[in-house]
Structures are given as C-alpha cells and as structure tokens.
Chain A
Amino acid sequence: MFKMLISRFAAAIPSLFGVLVIAFVLTRALPGDPAAFLAGPAASQEAIEEIRSTLELDKGLMAQFVDYTRNVFNGDLGSSWSTGQPVLSELVSRMPASIELTLLGLSFAIAVAVPLGVLSATRPGSWIDHGCRLLTTAGVSLPIFFTGLLLVYVFYFLLGWAPAPMGRLSLFADAPPSVTGFFLLDSLLAGQWATFVEALQHIALPAINLGIFALAPIARMTRASMLGVLSSDFVRTAKAHQLPPRKILYGYALHNAMLPVITTLGMVFSFLLGANVLVEKVFSWPGVGSFALEAVVISDYAAVQGFVLAMGIFYVFLNLLIDIVYGLVDPRVRIAT
C-alpha cells in the first residue's frame, strides 16, 4: 500500500510542473509590458520600473521561469496592487469560506444524487427513473448563476425564508472565534448557537446552488454504475443464494457501484471549483472566487494569475487525494500495486 501512495505522488509531479508552466506562461503572455500590467493601470513610471527590476523581468524566459518557480515554493505569488497585500495571504484568509461552501454543496449533492441514482436504477422505467434522467440532463444544462438567482428570487424575495444574499452572516453579526475558519464548525465549538443558525441560514442557498450543479453528474454516474452492477454475474449469484435484498443492494451492488462514482468526483470538482466563482458572485460570498472576480474587474493582474495558479495546485492535490482514496477502497488496486 505504501508503494501505491508513492506511485500516486510521483504521478502528480508532472501535473504540478505543467500547472507551473501554464501559470507562468499566462503571466508573461500579455501583449505589451508585463511590468506595467503587474503594477496596475494607476501606477507611475517609477513604480513600473521598480517592479521590473524587482522581478528581474529583463532576464531571459528560462531564468524568469526558474525565479517564478522558486518564488512559488517560497509562497510568493506576487502582490495585489490594489490592496498591497501578498496574494497568498489574501487567498489563505479567504480559503475557509470557499472550502466550507464547496464541502457543504458537495455533501448536499451526494446525499441527494446517490439515493436518486440508486432508486432510478432499481426501478427502471418508473417515474423516479424518468425524473432522474430528466434531472441529470437538465442539471448539466442549467447555467449555475441563473439557478442561483432563481433560488434567491424564490426563497428570499417571494418566500422570505432565506436571508439576503449578502455573505456568510448578516451585517451586524460577529464572526465566531476562529478555529477552523468554518463558521458552522467554529460557532458550534464556541457554543454560539445563534451564530450557528445564522451561518447555516446564509450558507444554505449557495450550498444548494452548488449542489444542484454537482447533482447531475453524480446521479448520472451512480445510475449507470448501478445498472451495470445490478446485471452483473455476482449479483446474480447473490440472488441465487437468496441473500436478503437489502444486503444485495448495499453490500454487493452499491459497494461496487460506488467505485466509478469516486473517480467521477475528480471531474465534479473541476466543475465545482469553477462554479464557485459564479456562486460567490451571486451570493456575495467572501471566498477566493470573489477575490478573483474583483481582481479581474480592476485588472489586478498578479492577483488573478495567483488565483489561477493556486487553484491549479489545489486541484492537482485534490485529484491525488481522490486517487488515493480510490486505491484504498478498491482492494484490486490496493493489493495489486
């Protein structure tokens, strides 16, 4: 098993290298003077020259790439000219908000999609089956920002159930003492029940929005996988031995069907990390996505590229994690490697 972990880590290294290359190319791809772009539209000529010499933009591209890589390993992703802060510290401070939202959205999606997929596969042709298939096709067709707005309109404006889409807590509330950065967890840990409820109310709609988006591919994969497994030889054997239907469904069928779903999660995360940006805009969520959005609008170039690089690295590690989890769950991979 140790060997499997090592080999998986090794496979991630070329991806990390690729991410660095692409992110570097993007920072130098602008037509014109990179120093001017990094300094910002309001910079004076001296500021631009200062940036040019600090970053040694006169050197050849290869040398610049080496510098760039070294900086990244030291945690230097550049500075945002609008806030003056290092990009990395901005990202780190905003990460918990995005992660909390994404995790909750994903949990919601899995909690709905997996049972839906299972029901759809075990009752083919029923209205649940047709509903599931319609939902999965519609789900990948919905523009996520549009569903967000619809949710806000229905649940905030019409029904008044949800609070205004203005961030993680209402304007007058204080954040709970920071332990993990996840408001839900922190408020529970501090025993602040009212804060917990308020945080929950604020995160509900954006999480559901993200969840609806992730629902479709997960339900589709679960359904397809279950259909395949239910008609497999070993399920037939289990039925021949008159194993209890519940055991066949969960212990035999679902257990096997979940394996391809785990690999699907990689693709789902690719959608989610991109969708995060859109959802954070709709709900004014103070995460890394809205950080990137603000930066894009004001042409804060270093911030945007720092965001892209950080997301790339994060995604590579996420895929690595999924690979490892799969390797642990499937004995054929765990033992054979």
Chain B
Amino acid sequence: MNTEKPLLEIDKLAISFTTRHGIVQAVEEVSWLLMPGEILGIVGESGSGKSVSTLALMGLLDANGFIASGQMRYRGQLLGCDAASDHRLRSRMAMIFQYPRLALNPIRRVGQQIIDVLKVIGDPGNCNALKARAIALLDEVQISSPEQRFYAYPFELSGGMCQRILIAMALARSPDLLVADEPSTGLDVVTQEAILALIANAARRRQMATLFITHDLGLAAKHCQRIVVMQNGRVVESAPAAELFARPRERYTRSLIAATPALMKNLAELRAVYAEEEASMEQTR
C-alpha cells in the first residue's frame, strides 16, 4: 500500500464557460490523483476537457471560464481561493504547450525570454550569471551551440527547438510538477520521440511529477506510469498503464485502444508485463 501523500488531488472538479448560448460545461466532476514523481497521462479526443482542467490548475482559464464546483489540492492545500497562496503554490508548477513556436514571444530573443523566467524565481545575479544559467539550461535540453542559439529569435528555430526552449524555461523554475499539454503534437515523429524522451529523463532526474496530456494513446502507453481516460468532460477510466491496456474495463477505452495501430502490436507484450506485475503483487501480499 502506498502511504505517500498525493502531490495533486483533483476532487469532483467541474469547470464551465459562459458563452453567448448560455453556460457550457466543459468538465463534469472529474477526480484523479497525482503522486510525487509520477508520470500521469491524460488521454482523450479533442474536446474531451483534458486541457481545460490543467489550465484551471495553472490559473490560465479564459476570462469566461470558471470552476463550477469541486476542489483542486496541491500538497493538501486548496487551490483557487486566495490569490497570494495560489501564486505561491503555482510557483512549484510549470507548463509547456502545443505549438511551441507560437508559445514564444516572436520579437524577443529566446535567451532573453529564459532570463525573464530566471528573474522571476528571485535569483539575484548579474547579467553574466543569468546568461550562464540560461546557457546551461539550453545545454540541458540538448540544444546544440547554446551560446549562439541564446541570441536567436523563435522564427529562426525549428518547432522541436522551440519546444526545447519552452522545456528549458519550465525547468528553470525547478518545479515539482510539470504539465505538458500535447507537447509533441505537430512535430515530426523523430522529434516527437526526442522531446518526450527529454521530458521523461528530466522528470526522472529532477524527481518531477509530470502530467502528460495527449490524444495519442500509443505515446501515453510508452511514457506514462498511470493513465486517465477522458471523454466529454468526464473521466471514463483510470488505471496504471499496463493494466489499462491489458485489461481495459470500459468500452470507450477499448475502442480507443483498437483505434491506435501502434498499440495493437505491443498488446501481447503489455499483457505479459501485466501478468508479471499481478503475479509479483500476489506474492508480496
């Protein structure tokens, strides 16, 4: 039995938006947990509400969005009530987004943008110290020639490189929790692999919990320890990855798995892994 306290608790969270046509409920009563250092995948189609809950978590909901009911708790402390405590709690979180080139200021050099983030975490230091740390971060995310790339503008970099910059900015804050909202969607397959491996390694190295949001079940299978499946704003199923793929309980989950070609190939392998895990758990009881 795991006695560790959850890092993040989403408890019957409901999020709605006020629109011209009335109130639209995007997320209805979802609940899930995230343990420290864990990589949790949130999987679902477009419009399933998977991004919305994390946007609410980070306080980035659009002006017309609001939390209708439920709670978000970070390390047991309530999020979303007091601006000062929210700010403090969110300083332990970082987020990276889909379409990385759009997520960077187009007319500001990327090195300068990293320094902007470094200045926030209150680290004093002169220009040179900040620049050195920024270049060290660029190195950590495996950007070649970091001293030159420091002066680049986002439009001069590829999508993959822009995403690495965003990861560098996220890591600059030494967060306990990284939210990755479709970080590899739109990148070519090779770069996808590289970016996700980078995130996974950074998470392991820095003991960082990761929320990996994606519509691609295959990617989630590969990199996540547990998976939450969402549909139409609700949690359909949630289980450790191997168990989800070996023994999906809900019909929706089964249809998602069936729709993912890469997954079908690995199914036998996953089933074997699950069988092994089950067996070992039986032994320890």
B95-126 interface mask toward A, CB cutoff 8 Å, 1 = contact, 0 = none?
10101001111111000000011001000000
How many angstroms from the CA of A233 to the CA of B106 in the assembled complex?
A: 11
A332 in contact with B95 given A241-B173, A242-B87 (CB within 8 Å)? no
Is there an interface contact between A335 and B153, defined as CB atoms closer than 8 Å?
yes
- CB-CB < 8 A to A251: which residues of B? 108, 116
Q: Identify 6 new A-B residue pairs, CB closer than 8 A, beyond the known A237-B104, A240-B60, A335-B156.
A: A233-B103, A240-B97, A243-B116, A259-B107, A332-B107, A332-B153
**B94 / chain A contacts, CB cutoff of 8 Å:** 240-241
Task: Across the interface, name the chain A residue whose C-beta is closest to B63.
Answer: A124
A238-B90 contact in complex given A332-B155, A335-B153, C-beta closer than 8 Å: no
Select from chain B the residue with minimum beta-carbon distance to A241. Answer: B117
Count B interface residues, CB 8 Å.
29
B91 within 8 A of partner (CB)? yes
Q: How far is the CB of B183 from chain A (nearest CB, A)?
A: 13
Report A319-337 CB contacts with B as 1/0, cut-off 8 Å: 0000000000011100110
A241→B153 contact, CB < 8 A = no
Contact of B60 (CB < 8 Å), options: A124, A234, A239, A331: A239
Q: Name the one of B59, B95, B106 contacting A256, with C-beta atoms under 8 angstroms.
A: B106
B208 to chain A, nearest CB (A): 16
Say whether A255 faces chain B, with CB atoms less than 8 Å apart.
yes
Instruction: Report Cα–Cα, A239/B60, bound state, in Å.
Output: 7
Tell me the chain A residues, 206-260 only, with Cβ under 8 Å from chain B: 231-234, 236-244, 247, 251-252, 255-256, 259
- A interface vs B, CB < 8 Å? 124, 231-234, 236-244, 247, 251-252, 255-256, 259, 330-332, 335-336
20 A-B pairs whose Cβ atoms sit less than 8 Å apart in the complex: A233-B102, A234-B102, A234-B106, A239-B60, A240-B58, A240-B97, A241-B117, A241-B120, A242-B87, A242-B90, A243-B116, A244-B120, A251-B108, A255-B107, A256-B105, A256-B107, A330-B107, A332-B106, A332-B155, A336-B155
A255 to chain B, nearest CB (A): 6
Main secondary structure of the interface of B (DSSP, over half): loop
For the complex of A and B, the 7 pairs showing the least CB-CB separation, nearest first, are A233-B102, A233-B103, A237-B103, A240-B95, A234-B105, A241-B117, A331-B153
B169 interfacial by beta-carbon distance below 8 Å: yes
Say yes or no for B166: interface residue by CB 8 A criterion: yes
Q: Closest B residue to A259 by CB, please name it.
A: B107
- Are A241 and B102 within 8 A (Cβ)? no
Kindly provide the distance from the CB of B185 to the nearest chain A CB, expressed in whole angstroms: 14
- B14 to nearest A CB, angstroms? 22
Judge whether B166 and A237 touch: CB under 8 Å: yes
Least Cβ–Cβ distance between B98 and chain A, in angstroms = 9
Contact with A along B156-172 (1 / 0, CB 8 A): 10000000001001100
Q: Are A234 and B156 in contact (CB under 8 A)?
A: no
Q: How long is the Cα–Cα vector from A255 to B155 in the complex, in angstroms?
A: 17
Contacts of B103 in A (CB 8 A): 233-234, 236-237
The residue in chain B whose Cβ has the minimal distance to the Cβ of A330 is B107
Measured CA separation A106–B87 after assembly (Å): 41
Question: Which residues of chain A are within 8 angstroms of B169 by Cβ–Cβ distance?
Answer: 237, 241
Instruction: Tell which of B60, B106, B107 touches A236, judged by Cβ atoms closer than 8 Å.
Output: B60
Residues on the A chain within 8 Å of B166, using CB: 237
- A242–B94 Cα gap in the complex (Å)? 9
A231 to B63, CA, bound (A): 10
